[in-house]
Amino acid sequence: MNTNKALLILAFLIIGGCSDSNDKSANEQAKDDNVFKTQTDALDESKKIEQMIIDAAEQNQQKIDKQSQ
């Protein structure tokens, strides 16, 4: 149970450090012109994986909470 809580807290801390820009069109245009496209693509992929980990941690926490009731 402590491990799941630690994972959940870690996930929230990671997400808290990342923020999206409200100007999506300028952000998308910058991605097209970016010379570091492979790096930004890898970063985008890692954000997707991070979200999958967060979702899994939340599901685990819900299962634990359900079992403890």
Domain ranges, ordered by start, for the chain: 36-69
DSSP H helices in the chain:
2-17, 24-33, 37-68
pLDDT given for residue 52 in this prediction: 96
Distance of alpha carbon 2 from alpha carbon 8, whole angstroms: 10
Tell me how crowded residue 13 is: count the other CB atoms within 10 A of its CB: 9
Tell me how crowded residue 57 is: count the other CB atoms within 10 A of its CB: 20
pLDDT tens-digit series, residues 16-39: 666 555 555 666 666 566 788 888
